[in-house]
Chain A
């Protein structure tokens, strides 16, 4: 199975900051990577697919990049609603696999 490792596992930031989360795959997955946001007690929400393509309605403050084995999610101008856990997912091969998650907390 393809393993995804996210770093950091958690981070603290202030409103208005920018943060970057990294997702590393243990083999090449082209750009077959999605990012999700999950707020406490809620279902995951898809942010982007194809490593960098935003889903409809997702603000441009979320930016994804990468290809191959290393991917990043950058969130600009953090707002209170952005404090959540973020997961990456690879859909290059079955079984689909998720990263372990990165919790973004308010400093």
Chain B
């Protein structure tokens, strides 16, 4: 059974940093994505990464501030988020190829 479990969401001050993790099980390494959803809003694709981590793609709104990475030995996906602003407040989802999704983790950026 495919499982994805995000963690690391928290309340963080503007300008701060946070690292999200996604623990995976039930499948072989595959392309992985991060998607977020601001409260009451739609879905925004953020980034994805290929199997060995050599290819990464980002949406412009996070490029240079967010970094996607993975550790296949630990079956984990990560999202390092720096220079956070109020506009980054959202539920963050990890996903396997946008086919299977975790339950999400809430990031709130506020002073």
Contacts and interface: CB of A to CB of B under 8 A. Distances in A.
A45 B101 contact: yes
Contact of A44 (B43, B48, B60): B43
B93 A44 contact: yes
B99 A55 contact: yes
Interface stretch (A11-19, A75-83, A95-103): A95-103
A103 to B, nearest CB: 11
A45 B100 CA distance: 7
B99 A43 contact: no
Contacts of B60: 1, 95
Given A43-B101, A43-B104, A46-B99, A101 B42 contact: yes
Contacts, number: 47
Given A43-B103, A94-B57, A34 B98 contact: yes
Interface in B62-111: 93, 98-104
A104 interface: no
A93 to B, nearest CB: 10
Nearest to A90: B45
Give the size range of B's interface with the partner. Answer: 10 to 19
Contacts of A55: 99
Nearest to B58: A95
B42 A46 contact: no
Contacts of B45: 89, 95-98
B59 interface: yes
Q: Which 7 A-B pairs have the closest CB atoms?
A: A96-B45, A95-B59, A43-B101, A98-B43, A94-B57, A101-B42, A46-B99
B52 interface: no
Contacts of A36: 43
B85 to A, nearest CB: 19
A1 B98 CA distance: 19
B44 interface: yes
